[in-house]
Amino acid sequence: MPRYHIWTVGCQMNEADSTKLAAGLQCLGWEQTPRPEEADLVVLNTCVVRQKAEQRGISKLGALRRLKERSNGRRPKIAVMGCMVGLRTDGLLKRFPFVDVFARPQAFSDVLTAVMPQEDTGGEFWPETFPRTPGPTAYVPVIHGCNKFCTFCIVPYRRGRERSRPIIEVAHEVEVLVARGVKEVTLLGQTVEAYGHDLPDRPSLADLFRAIHDIKGLERIRFLTSYPKDMTDDIIHAVAELPKVCEYFNIPVQSGDDTILARMRRGYTLSEYRDVVNKIRRWLPAAAISTDVIVGFCGETDEQFRRTYDLLAELRFDKVHVAAYSPRPGTIAWRTLADDVPQQVKMDRLHIIEELQEGIAADVNARLQGTLQEVMIEGEKGEKGGAARSADPRPKLYGRTRGDKIVHFYGQACPGELVNVRIEKTSAWSLQGRQTGDEVEE
Ligand code: SF4
């Protein structure tokens, strides 16, 4: 049986693509291997949103070139997909001549076609027909691409304009996933609230929630990533009303300074951003909210950075993903703005935000001490980090709350089960507790 190995870096969209590609390969009779040197096909699913991610892809490619050169007999096919692959591939081909296939994001059927026996290549691959997942959770892309063109971002150039999948198609995929044991789906889009604006009846994300909410066996619905301007009252109401939709929002703010936001062409002011966060907190007091921040963007002064710091201290998010700005070739900022904040200053600012957020997350999580949380089991602790000793004879499990916080606890349950856990210990990064038979209070 031929074997494949997939290496994935980057966002949840890439993870979703890799899962579907793996499912397709398995439909063709291929078997997964964790060791690239044993594979007949090695796929790199790449990301170029940050320089660091791009470099990781490039150094993996270097290792694969060496692998291909020294293979005695087994010369694996190498495929590169994801955001490293733009419209034109001639530059990539010149740089990496040992790569057999370049496939644009979501175009993973190109990889499948390349490994299919010649006689089978007549039919068209529609990847949604073989959704598959190894656990109780699954990503479901519902809108591809992005129309926003923030000046720092490469995504619209690599993933194209926004294209929503019809409700009926998404609902069918979720039904198939649930039939195969999935209990929680995360609906994905670069700007997920833009869902539906390009479809004939202009359905909204709220309509999509309602369309899949009553699928029997589906326990939780999540959605990622939010764009502040696209977040409507209707969507927030739907999250509040529909019990299966988890009250967790990831709403990137990127900067706490209006001038920098305008330079990034984010399309909103801080006051508009605050309104969205405050509305969610008013209507959904238990909601968890995370954000993304870029420090050291072109021309960012100490004072402008301080405003980002102050905003985070004021809004006290559950989580902050912080990145130091790195210019991405082809973007508006790369073409028109000077990357003039020294690297050391960027790193200092990044560490200042990390330190601030660690304290905030510790406080925010400490408020959960003693509460009862609904947790979906993802696995046993031993599978990931080694068994911990305790007087409790039950295994140590881990899972997530509705607010996407990781909980380690002693209990007895299977992956995908929802259990109630009394939180006994908290930190900035996770929660610990004990499974109980008590009911979570509404
Ligand atoms: S909203 Fe902006 S940052 Fe997000 S994917 Fe689109 S262009 Fe990139």
Residue 318 has what DSSP assignment? Answer: S
Contact residues of ligand 1, CB 6 A cut-off: 146, 148-150, 153, 155-156, 190-191, 227
Reported pTM: 0.89
Angle at 53 between CA 223 and CA 113, to 5 degrees: 75
Q: Report whether pLDDT(113) > 60.
A: yes
> Among the ranges 24-38, 57-71, 125-139, 191-205, which has the highest mean pLDDT value?
191-205
Predicted local distance difference test score (pLDDT) of residue 50: 87
Name which of 230, 112, 263 is nearest 162 in CA terms.
230
What's the gap in Å between 108 CA and the centre of ligand 1? Answer: 22
> pLDDT tens digits, residue range 217-232?
999 999 999 999 999 9
**Predicted pLDDT of residue 251:** 97
Q: How far is CA 151 from the centre of its chain?
A: 21
Q: What is the mean pLDDT of residues 66-72?
A: 76
The answer for residues whose C-beta is within 8 angstroms of residue 333's C-beta and 6 or more apart is 151, 152, 263, 264, 297, 298, 327, 339
- Nearest atom in ligand 1 to the alpha carbon of residue 266 is 2
Share of the chain above pLDDT 70, in %: 92
CA-nearest residue for atom 8, ligand 1, is: 153
* Candidate from 119-123, 266-270, 375-379 with smallest mean pLDDT: 119-123
Identify which has the larger pLDDT, 52 or 87.
Answer: 52
How high does pLDDT run on average in the chain?
A: 90
On whether the CB atoms of residues 235 and 205 are closer than 8 A, the answer is yes
Distance between CA atoms of 267 and 25, rounded to whole angstroms? 41
pLDDT at 241 over 70: yes
Phi-psi category of residue 202: left, alpha or beta, with phi > 0 → left and psi -120 to 50 → alpha:
left
Count CB-CB contacts under 10 A for residue 355.
10
Pocket test for ligand 1, best of 190, 250, 325, 332 (most atoms within 8 A of CB): 190
Q: Which of 27-36, 50-59, 125-134, 236-245 has the highest mean pLDDT?
A: 236-245
